[in-house]
Amino acid sequence: MKLSSVLCGVFATLTVAFPKEYLSLATWGVEGYAKDNPIGITTGGKGGKTVTVTTAEELVAAVKGTEPKIVKLKGKVTLPSRLKVGSNTSLIGVGLTAHITGAGVDVYHGDNVILQNLKITHILDNDCITIRNSTRVWVDHNEFSSDINQGPDHYDGQVDIIRASDWITVSWNYFHDHWKSSLVGNDATFRDLDFGHLHVTYHHNYWRNMGTRGPAGRFGHQHVYNNLYEDFLYQAIHSRSDNQVLVEGNVFRGNTSEALSTYGLVIPMDSPNTCTCGDEELDGYANLGAKNDWGKAGVNITQKGNFYKADYKYKLTPLKLVPTVAKLGAGVGYFLRKVKANAHRHPWPVFLIVSSAEIFYNNPDILQCYDMVEDVPICLPFQCNTYQVKENDTCTSVSEYLGITIKDFISLNPWIRDDCYDFPSGTIYLGKFVCTTPSDGHYNRTTSKSDPTDSSYADEVIPRPENASPAANQECGRWRNEIWDCESRCGYGKDCGPDQRPIEVFSSYQLLAVDYANIGCFESKEEYVLPGKDYMEWGNSTLEECANFCTASLEADYFALQTKYYSPLEQDNFCICGNQLNPSIKKLGIEEESADEKGDVCKGKGGTYIYTTNSKILNRIILYKSSTAQPWDWSKEIVLITGGSGGIGSEMVNKFSHRNIRVVSFDIHPPKSTLSTNAHFYKVDVTSPQSIHDAMEQVRRKIGDPTVLINNAGIALGKDILACTADQIKQMVEVNLLAHFWLVQELLPSMIKQKHGHVVTIASVASFITIASNIDYSCTKAGLVAFHEGLTQDLKHRYNARDVLTSIVFPYWVRTPLIQNLTTHSTFQDPLQEPNEAAEAIVDHVLKGRRGDLFLPGYAGLLSGIRGFPAWIQEMIRDICWVEAGKAIFCTYFIPVAWSYKWRYRITVKPFPVNGTTAARNPTPAVPPPTSA
């Protein structure tokens, strides 16, 4: 029997059809709260000893203690009592047969635990897994089941998270045939213990034939995204007892009764049955993020909460792909590829090198080299001898050197065009490996899709060329899969037309392929290639945000450059359009959903335009004018925030500290809640230069010199001019304006000396438009515009410190006590932002090293142009925007008019420059507003 027949006959049966662009989803590392939290990423037993166990006794002994350890379970064990898993432990099932029954698993008073690839079924004593008083637990790629016919009280939960546990991720699990699945917070009387904890992420789980709790939560925060629910008999997602849940990108199918409920009634099938009608608790809260597919299921949201956005980075699977991705990716067996450091740049090894084209052709589930999964076999029709490309190589020189024909060389490497034009071409493959012949031995040559008639290697003995090297592992150079049809989906699900081909972009420099399905379609049958070294590095998460609308003209020799601008936390997605090496690129087409703005002529080096998405708006900025050339190491930076105990300031303190960035808060009032270990509070009167200096002496001794200053402290009265006392007006000027001088004088010398720093001035839209009952406040905020402009000029021209950044922020109405006197009346109509939304935008701006102005939300920038109107129009706008006795009319009705006059603005208006918009909203408050400014 031929070797290739054996390999393909065995391996092909194990190959699973999977959406190409999401093949590697199920092998991602930890995401969500178990990754992004104040304590640190969940690593389990990383760095410890690895032990393999096969019996219950061995398992019990292996998971004890707190020293780092990786415990691998082979086969089925029946536990006589519950398994106590210690801290710093990874318990991982081997293959498809690791199975726990008899008793469940407890993580009590633990930290840093990973539970993966386990079947846990028919547990009678308690839950399958109980997480209690524990932090950083990752429950991933497991399968849980019992027998739903036994009724709701025969078995308990599958994964219950209770007693102030925190920072948990439950991902890629298969829950089926059970009543009560996953409960977060198991007692309505434990408010004091649980409140402020129970942060849990549920993503890409598959629930089928279930009763309730998918999940049910009390007192915590659950982020539930990209899960599949089939035949959930009663309440699937249930938020009660003041719980907050963010639900997005989920799909509900079959006879699911109620997809989401915040009603406090706990039905009898999900309650201790103290009443025949169920138990009454307080209602919970829910917010909807990305679109969900509710199917035929009902949705009952009695009150919206304030959990609008998760405080971490995550990638949503397109809604239409969720059923396929969840079914094929959830459960045991898929997580087996253990990702190494920099695995996205260094492909996963296989046993022997093969032609990359043959890997793709014979394994259609593999699109990119790093899609290969450990222990999941692939079909290798023939193995390959290799040659390492050298400078000035051509098809002819390589073929002659190896003693093979050019036709054979191309057929073995079908990413090379028939005329050899693209080898090595502009993207020279120095150091990359190409296939020369199949390895020594007797092989059946599989025909190449690029040349179906080629059979030159059919069933014959192939000697190794004298100058070729035998391969020991897979060397993934740059390649492409031959695509001769248009069945692939292009960006945002758009079908390629009959004369188009899916775009495929590769970086040979980084050994990285980018999925063509996220990019778009070329307007011709030509396939363009892209040099990966010409501008910047790029990562495998760059293109979904922007590349789908960045396309080159037909005159381009290759696709306009798309890359990632690496900000300090690598969270910035940019699309740089145009290539200085290719002068034939004439213009740029920009498309983003309904936006129809067209780009300008690409300017080349020094003036390259950058486009980034903002929901419906494309922001255009100049790279060298918008960000600093100085690198920011956020493990070393120190952020000082004034007014850090309430409102936007408190939210910024939390957001910086949750990112493990050291942050100092200056405020006259203490914080309302306990700060994390990397956040430090100092009681400071910002109106007193001496108080500021004394506090800074302590900060320098204990922490160091702050490199970021956010002047946020502010007060407002909301009174007309005759109602303000002299002391009130004086305090207003001192806090809102003069304090900025004192803080800058104290901190700026260190920034100038280091030529590194960032001063952020929190002003207001009131800087541009003054309305009744707000004169004192507007005067101080208008002064901050001059302060920011002058400080920027001093740094550039007096101190030669251009790398010390300056930014000014103009929030519109934000729901804080600062504006309570102006916004509480029932006739107030302007939209309100939440403090956490404004804070997230400011933090994002700082982390990305941006300078300049930031309007919150973006459209508020249009009001900055009021002074460009004739005086009578200005006064009319102020009249319509009047505020008296708490009444306000929606003054932004004039935005369309202002837009037409933008050429007269005294300050350049820029849309909101962050990924996504800060949506302004004014709902009924879901939770009481904070009590301090």
Catalytic residue numbers read 213
Which residue is associated with the tokens 């109107």? 869
Mode of pairing for the β-strands spanning 251-253 and 460-462? unpaired
Q: Judge whether 670 and 681 are in contact, CB under 8 Å.
A: yes
Q: Judge whether 628 and 851 are in contact, CB under 8 Å.
A: yes
**DSSP of 512-569:** EEE-GGGT-EESSS------SSSS----TTSHHHHGGGEEE-TT-SSPPP------TT
**What does the alpha-carbon distance between residue 216 and residue 244 come to, in Å, rounded to a whole number?**
11
Q: Which amino acid is at 136?
A: R
Neighbours of 484 (CB within 10 A): 7
Is residue 575 classed as helix, strand or coil in its secondary structure?
Answer: strand
Q: Which stretch of DSSP H or E encloses residue 387?
A: strand 384-388
Half-sphere exposure of 180 (CA within 13 A, CB side): 27
Comparing C-alpha atoms, which of 228, 436, 447 is closest to residue 331? 228
**What does the alpha-carbon distance between residue 664 and residue 661 come to, in Å, rounded to a whole number?**
10
Q: Judge whether 280 and 264 are in contact, CB under 8 Å.
A: yes
List the end-to-end C-alpha distance of the chain, in Å, as a whole number.
Answer: 79
Comparing C-alpha atoms, which of 97, 14, 19 is closest to residue 328? 19
Mode of pairing for the β-strands spanning 89-93 and 69-73? parallel
Encode 656-723 in three state secondary structure. HHHCCCEEEEEECCCCCCCCCCCEEEEECCCCCHHHHHHHHHHHHHHCCCCCEEEECCCCCCCCCHHH
**What does the alpha-carbon distance between residue 560 and residue 550 come to, in Å, rounded to a whole number?**
7
With a CB cutoff of 8 Å and minimum separation 6, the contacts of 419 are: none
Which residue is associated with the tokens 């930031």? 854
Burial of 211 (0-12, 13-18, 19+ CB in 10 A): buried
Comparing C-alpha atoms, which of 368, 360, 359, 422 is closest to residue 395? 422
**What does the alpha-carbon distance between residue 559 and residue 556 come to, in Å, rounded to a whole number?**
7
**DSSP of 755-779:** T-EEEEEE--GGGT---TT-HHHHH
**What does the alpha-carbon distance between residue 711 and residue 641 come to, in Å, rounded to a whole number?**
6
Half-sphere exposure of 125 (CA within 13 A, CB side): 15
Output the six-digit token pair for 610.
């950058």
Going 468 to 473 to 477 to 483, the CA torsion angle's sign is: positive
**What does the alpha-carbon distance between residue 528 and residue 534 come to, in Å, rounded to a whole number?**
16
Output the six-digit token pair for 17.
């059809």
**DSSP of 170-184:** EES-EEEEEEE--EE
Alpha carbon 546 to chain centroid, angstroms: 14
With b for 16 or more beta-carbon neighbours within 10 A and e for fewer, the 639-658 pattern comes to bbbbbbbbbbbbbbbbbbbb
Output the six-digit token pair for 478.
């740059």
**What does the alpha-carbon distance between residue 801 and residue 791 come to, in Å, rounded to a whole number?**
11
Output the six-digit token pair for 185.
């917070």
Helices (H), 620-668: 623-626, 647-658
Q: Which stretch of DSSP H or E encloses residue 136?
A: strand 135-140
